[in-house]
Structure 1
Amino acid sequence: MKIPKRIASAVINSLKGGVVPRTGLPYITVGRETEIDALLHDVDIIADGGAAFRFISGKYGSGKSFLLQTIRSHVMDRNFVVVDADLSPERRLQGTKGQGLATYKELIRNMSTKTRPDGGALTLILDRWISGVQSETAAETGMSPDSPEFGKAVEKKIYEVINALSEMVHGFDFARLLTIYYHASADGNDEEKAKVVKWFRGEYVNKTEAKSELGVNIVISDDDWYEYIKLFAMFLKMAGYNGLLVLIDELVNIYKIPNSITRQYNYEKILTMYNDTLQGKAKYIGIIMGGTPQCIEDTRRGVYSYEALRSRLAEGRFGREGVRDMLAPVIHLIPLTYEEMLVLTEKLADIHAQLFDYEQKITQEDMIRFIQLEFSRIGSDSHITPREVIRDFIELLDIVFQNPQINISEFIASDSMAHVKPSVGQDDQTDEEFAEFEI
C-alpha cells in the first residue's frame, strides 16, 4: 500500500489528535461495510430524485464521524455535492440569535465536490453551471459563442432552470440571484458575482444591505435557511450534479441546551426535515445526523423527548441484539471486532513506516498482544472505543520509532503498559477470545 506523504501525515496526525482526517480515509477504512452499503443505497435513491434521512448513533469515539467522512468521500466520487457542519452552542438548527443561520453558513462554507474536496466550492459550482449551459447551448444550436444570438440562446436555457426553481418556497428570489450572477459573469463583473456569492453564503446582515447592494429585498434567516438548502439541492441537479448530501454531527449540543422550549424548537426543525424527505417534499437531498445514544434516545432531553420524533424513530418490537435493521432511520454503530482492529493496526503501522521512512519492526504478534492488552482493561467491554485504541497504538509506534533500541514485545508487556494490563480473572478469557490469532 503506497500512500503520499502529505496524506500519510494528515492521517497519522489527525488520528493521534483524536479527530477524523478529511483525506486518506480509504487507506484506513476497516469494517462498517454493512452501514456503508445501507447509506449508499440511500444515495442511489437520492440520485433518482428521492430523498433520505438517517441518524447515526454511537458513543464518543465509536466511529460516527469516521463513518460520516467515509460516506462523504464515497458520494463525492459519485458526483454529489456535500455540505457538512458540527453543531455547537453557537450553531443549532433553530435559534433566536442567529444560531440556525450560523449552521447554514458553516454548511455552505464547507460545500465540497470531488474537484474541491476541502470546501469552498460554491463559486466553482456556479461557474461550472454557467459554463455547462453555454456548452449545452452551443452543442444544441450549433452557434459560435461569438454569435450575437448565442447570448440570447444561453439566457433562454438559464430561464428554464430558473422557472423550475421559482415554483419552490423562496425559489423566485433564489432564481433572481442566479440571474444576477449569470449577467455579472457574462459582463465580466467579478464584484457583482462576489456580492451574489456573499448572499448565498448568508452573510448579509439585513434586507437593507442586500437591497442596496443587489436590489433584492430578502436575506437568508434563522427561520428559513433550510428552505434554501432544498433549493440548492434542486439547483445542483440542474447544474449537472447527482444531488446534495447534508452531514450534521454533534447532535449532543442540542441535547445540552438548558432551555426545554429551545430544545423542542430544534427537534421540531429535525421533524420538518425528516417529514420533507420521507413525504417527497424534498428532492435530490440526503440528510445524515450523528449523535450519541443518549442524545437521541433520552426521553427527557434527547430527540426522543419530542414525541412526534420518538414515535417515528423508535425501534419496533422485532429489533434485538445481533439482528439489525439497516433500513431503519437510526443506524446504531456496534464496536469493531478484534479482527477488524487488528487489520486497522496493520494499516496504521504500514502508513507510519512510510511516513517516517523506516523498516517496520512491529510484528503481527506484537499487534495482537497490544490489542489483547487494550481490550483487557477493566470496563473495556463498555467503555473502550476505536479512538482510544488508535491513539494508543500511534503513540506506541512513535515511541518505538524514536527509540529503536526498544524490544517491542517486552515493551508492550512491561510496566510502561501497566495501565492496560488485564485484571484478575480476565487473562484466560482474553487469551481464549484471541486464540484464533495465534500464529
Structure 2
Amino acid sequence: MPEQKPDRNTAQRARVPKRIAAVIINSLKGGVVPRIGLPYITVGREREIEALLHDLALVADGGASFRFLVGRYGAGKSFLLQTIRTHAMGRDFVVADADLSPERRLQGNQGQGLATYKELIRNLSTKTRPEGGALPLVLERWARNLSEGATDPLVPLKAALSPIRELVHGFDFCRVLEAYYAAYLEGDEERQACCAKWLRGEYRTKTEAKTELGINACIGGDDWYEYLKLFAEFLVGAGYQGLIVLVDELVNLYKIPNSITRQYNYEKILTMYNDTLQGKAYHLGIIMGGTPQSIEDRRRGVYSYEALRSRLTQGRFASEGMTDMLAPVIHLNPLTYEELLVLTEKLADIHAGYFGYERRLVTEDLVSFLQVEFGRVGADSHLTPREVIRDFIELLDILYQNPKASVAELLQSGSFVSSGSSVGEAGASGQTSPDVDSRFAEFTI
C-alpha cells in the first residue's frame, strides 16, 4: 500500500484513538453497532436522546421508567440503545443489555427466561468496565465501601441490607450478600466466587446452591425479573445511580410460533411495565427495542396482548412531526439527508485518520454518494441508515486501496450502483427518483 501523508486535519482525527476507530469502522461495515466510540459518530436523535436522558434523571431520583424504541431494521434502534448505554454509564449508572433470541426470551419452559437474565448480568457494565463483566467489580466496591472506616465492619451491613430484605425474594438475596461480605472480610476468594455465581443465576438447582453456598434457593426462569429489581436497590447502596436494562430484538417474541407462549412473554412485559409506572420498582429503567411489526401487529405482536395495546397505543392528538416523546413508545423517524451528510463526513475523517491518509472526499463527493444511494427507485421506503453506512465504508475502503481511482467515476459506475444495498427489485435497476437532486441541492457548494 503506498504511503500517504496526513493532511491538515490530522490533529483533529487524532482525537479518535486507533483502537476505537478500528471498532467503529469494522462494526459498521459488518452491519452492527459498535459498543464503544459512539459519541464520535452520533448525529441527530436529539429529541429521542433528551427524552431518554429525562428517564435517567427519574431513575436517579429513585423512580422507574419503561420505554419501547420502535423502528424498522437498520433504522437506528440498536444505535440509540447503545448511545443511551454510553450516556448512562457516564452518569454512573450500571447498565445491563441483552438481545432476545430463540434461546433467550422473557419467559419459557426450557429456561429461556433465565438465559436472558444470565446474559443481562454477564453484560453488566459500568463507567470503568464498559465492555461488560462488571459484577465482581461492583460487589467488591460495595464490600469495600461498607468496611472502610467502620469500627465493627458488620454494623453497617444490617443498615445497608434493610431496604432490600423487605422486597420479594429479598431475604435470600441478602443472605447471599451477607455471605459475600463475610468472605470478603476473610479474604475467601472461593466463597466470593460462589456468591457471584449465585447472583449470575448459574446454580441449576436449590440443592446445588445449598451444597456449595449453604443457601436453599436459586434464581429461576419465573422469578428472574424480581432479582433485577433487587439488583437495582443493591447498586444504589454500592454507590451507583441505579440500573438501566436494555433489551433488543423483540421481534424474536413475535416469531414464537405458539400463541400461548407468546402471551406468557407479553404478560412478563406487562408486569415490568406496571411495576415501573405504578411505583413498585425503584432506581430501575427498562428500554426495549423492536420493529413496528413486532410491536403493532395485533395478531402476533405486543399489541396482540390487549392489556398492553390499550396502554401503549398512541393517543388522538399525536401526528407526524408532533409526537409525544414522553409516551412509553418512541417511534424512530429516518435520519434526515442533512444528518446523513454530517455522518458520512465524520466517517470519512475517522477512516482517513485510522489509515493515515489525506481525506480525498469533499462535500460535493459526499452529496454525490447520497444522491446515488437515494436516487434508486424504492430507496425512500426501503433504504436504511445501516445500509447507507455500510456502502459508504465500502467506498472508502476501495478508494484507499486504489488511490488512483476517480471518486466521480466510481460513484457513477454501474457496478457501484448495482452492488449497493438492496432496496427492492425496483431499486436494483439504478433508476433515479426525479426529485432526488433537489433534496441535496442545499448541501452543494
Normalising by structure 1, we get a TM-score of 0.95
Residue of structure 2 in register with 1:438 after alignment: 444
CA distance in 2, matches of 1:89, 1:416: 38
Deviates more, 1:411-420 or 1:380-389: 411-420
The aligned counterpart of 2:79 is 66
Give 3-state SS (helix, strand or coil) of 2:368's partner: helix
Shift of 1:124: 0.4
Deviations 1:157-201 (A, max 9, x none): 111112221100000100010000011011110000000000000
Give the aligned partner of residue 52 of structure 1.
Answer: 65
CA positional deviation for 1:336: 0.3
Q: SS at 2:245's partner residue? A: strand
Moved more, 354-363 or 391-400: 354-363
Tell me, yes or no, if the aligned pair for 2:60 and 2:242 is still in contact at 8 Å.
Answer: yes
CA contact 1:373–1:422 (8 Å) conserved in 2? no
In the TM superposition, residue 409 of structure 1 has moved relative to its aligned partner by 1.3
Which residue matches 1:320? 319
Match of 1:20 in 2: 33
1:330-349 to structure 2, matched below 5 A, reads 330-349=329-348
Task: Tell me the alpha carbon deviations over residues 328-361 of structure 1, each in whole angstroms, 9 at most, x when there is no partner.
Answer: 1000000000000000000000000011111111
1:414 alignment counterpart: 413
Question: Could you say what secondary structure the match of 2:203 adopts?
Answer: coil
Task: Quickly say closer, same or farther: Cα 1:107–1:424, change in 2 above 3 A.
Answer: closer
Q: Check conservation: 2:348, 2:396, Cα contact below 8 A.
A: yes
Q: Secondary structure at the match of 1:177?
A: helix
Give the superposition deviation at 1:422: 9.8
The one-letter code of the counterpart of 1:311 is S
Q: SS of the counterpart of 1:54?
A: strand
CA–CA distance in 1 between the matches of 2:212 and 2:435?
A: 71
Matches within 5 A, 1:36-435: 36-135=49-148, 137-138=149-150, 150=151, 152=152, 154-419=153-418, 426-435=432-441
- Cα distance, 1:116 vs structure 2: 0.3
Aligned partner of residue 237 in structure 1, secondary structure: helix
Separation of aligned partners in 1, 2:80 and 2:203: 34
Alignment-mate amino acid for residue 429 of structure 1: D
Tell me if the contact between 2:172 and 2:215 (Cα under 8 Å) persists in the aligned partners: yes
Relative to 1, partners in 2 of residues 1:311 and 1:107: Cα closer, same or farther, differing over 3 Å?
same
In 1: Cα distance, 2:144 partner to 2:202 partner:
26
Q: How far is the alpha carbon of 1:121 from its aligned partner?
A: 0.5
Query: Contact between 1:38 and 1:326, CA under 8 Å: does it hold in 2?
Result: yes
Q: Is the 8 A contact 2:344 2:392 kept in 1?
A: yes
Post-superposition CA distance 1:122-166 (Å, at most 9, x none): 01001001111223x44xxxxxxxxxxx2x2x2111111122211
The separation in 2 between residues aligned to 1:381 and 1:94, in whole angstroms, is: 37
How many angstroms apart in 2 are the aligned matches of 1:179 and 1:425? Answer: 68
| Structure 2: tracts of 5 or more residues without a match | 1-11, 421-426
Distance (whole Å) between structure 1 residues aligned to residue 32 and residue 428 of structure 2: 28
Contact 2:69 2:332 in 1 (8 A): yes
Provide the C-alpha distance between the structure 2 equivalents of 1:436 and 1:171, rounded to a whole number of angstroms: 60
SS in 1 for 2:435: helix
What SS is found at the alignment partner of 1:434?
helix
How far apart are 1:417 and its partner, in Å? 2.3
- Matched to 2:110, the amino acid is K
Partner of 1:143: none
CA shift for structure 1 position 424:
9.1
For 1:320 and 1:425, the matched residues in 2 are separated by 32
For 1:374 and 1:385, how far apart are their aligned partners in 2?
10
After superposition, give the CA deviation of every residue in 1:360-413 in whole Å (9 maximum; x if it has no partner).
111110110000110112211111000000000000000000000101112111
Letter in 2 for 1:249: D
Partner of 1:375: helix, strand, or coil?
Answer: helix
Deviations 1:257-300, CA, capped at 9 Å, x for gaps: 00000000000000000000000000000000000000000000
Q: What is the CA–CA distance in structure 1 between the aligned matches of 2:162 and 2:413, rounded to whole Å?
A: 71
Distance in 2 (CA, whole Å) between partners of 1:163 and 1:34 is 39
CA RMSD of aligned residues (A): 1.3
For 1:224 and 1:424, the matched residues in 2 are separated by 53
- Aligned residue identity for 2:124: M
Relative to the length of structure 2, the TM-score reads 0.94
